[in-house]
Amino acid sequence: MSALILDGKKLAKESELQLKERVEALKARTGKTPILATILVGDDPASATYVKMKGNACARVGMESLPVHMPKQTTTEELLAKIEELNENPNVHGILLQHPVPRHIDERAAFEKIERRKDVDGVTCLGFGLMAMGEKAYGSATPAGIMRILKAYDIPLEGKHAVVVGRSAILGKPMAMMLLNANCTVTICHSKTKDLEKYVGDADILIGAVGKPEFIKTAWIKKGAVVIDAGYHPGGVGDVEKAGLEDVASAYTPVPGGVGPMTINTLIYQSVDSGESFLGK
């Protein structure tokens, strides 16, 4: 059986063409460019790579990024002060704080400091709460990107059993709320779940969001399920076992080339939207 490949890389490319036009139109109208500030604290090489990829994506659509690199010994207070400064900078329309920050920093406090209108990565409690209530807010980039993939491929969601494996603040939890808002019946599984295989085996839509390489085994998955893999591990390994996946899934996101590119694209998409709302459509 050959499963449908949910090609996030292709969708992100297509979206970039549209965003480029919107940015050009905004520039023509206002003489200004949307600007995304990207904050990297410390020098984790993987995080540095992701932040660089986000800056490159800004450039491809004609936006600017304002990279802020802070040393690993930065205190919570120093980070909060930097975010406050970016909140007050009228030229900055979006703020990304790359997760994870060094352990001694209060990451939640830092996320919460981001002004609501500039929370284009959807990491604040207020943004989460509004989204969960079905109000307008920028969604957390990875789950919002996943929803855009499901929509682009017309994957039916209503009444389907969606199983989210993982419950992190910027992935599993918002993912569950987005799927619930799309009328899925949602189960959230996590490290303390007993009989994980049973839940995974009942999923029509399976979301791997645990952050453990190939933790979810192909043998557990129901025939015909739609499998979304939000895991990213060295060597192009996801949270879902690769071997045999295309024989059991009806559709799946590849790693790489699936959720990752749409995570970045969603950040850019929401940044362009924010730029438009600050500068005037």
Q: Which residues are catalytic?
A: 54, 98, 121
Least distance in angstroms from the C-beta of 21 to ligand GUE? 23
Which pair of tokens denotes residue 147?
């929803």
Which listed residue (199, 232, 252, 269) binds ligand GUE by CB under 6 A? Answer: 232
What is the DSSP secondary-structure string of the chain? --PEE--HHHHHHHHHHHHHHHHHHHHHHHS---EEEEEEES--HHHHHHHHHHHHHHHHTT-EEEEEEE-TT--HHHHHHHHHHHHH-TT--EEEEPSPPPTTS-HHHHHHHS-GGG-TT--SHHHHHHHHTT-S-PPPHHHHHHHHHHHHTT---TT-EEEEE---TTTHHHHHHHHHHTT-EEEEE-TT-SSHHHHHTT-SEEEE-S-STT-B-GGGSPTT-EEEE---BTTTB-SB--TTHHHH-SEE--SSSSHHHHHHHHHHHHHHHHHHHHH--
Mark the segment that binds ligand GUE (CB under 6 A) among 151-159, 176-184, 208-216, 260-268.
260-268
Annotated binding residues for NADP(+): 166-168
Mark the segment that binds ligand GUE (CB under 6 A) among 62-70, 75-83, 92-100, 197-205.
92-100
Least distance in angstroms from the C-beta of 11 to ligand GUE? 12
Binding mask 105-124 for ligand GUE (x = CB under 6 A): ----------------x-x-
Which pair of tokens denotes residue 30?
């206002």
Annotated binding residues: 166-168
Which listed residue (142, 265, 270, 271) binds ligand GUE by CB under 6 A? Answer: 142
Cβ-in-10-Å burial (0-12, 13-18, 19+) of 216 comes to buried
Which listed residue (260, 270, 273, 275) binds ligand GUE by CB under 6 A? Answer: 260
Residue 211 sits in the site that holds ligand GUE (CB under 6 A): no
Nearer to ligand GUE, 35 or 97 (CB): 97
Pick out residues in 174-193 that bind ligand GUE (CB under 6 A): none
Interface with ligand GUE (CB under 6 A), residue total 17
Nearer to ligand GUE, 7 or 276 (CB): 7
Which listed residue (15, 41, 50, 231) binds ligand GUE by CB under 6 A? Answer: 50
Least distance in angstroms from the C-beta of 281 to ligand GUE? 26
Could you list the residues that contact ligand GUE (CB under 6 A)? 50, 96-99, 121, 123, 141-142, 232, 255-257, 260-261, 263-264
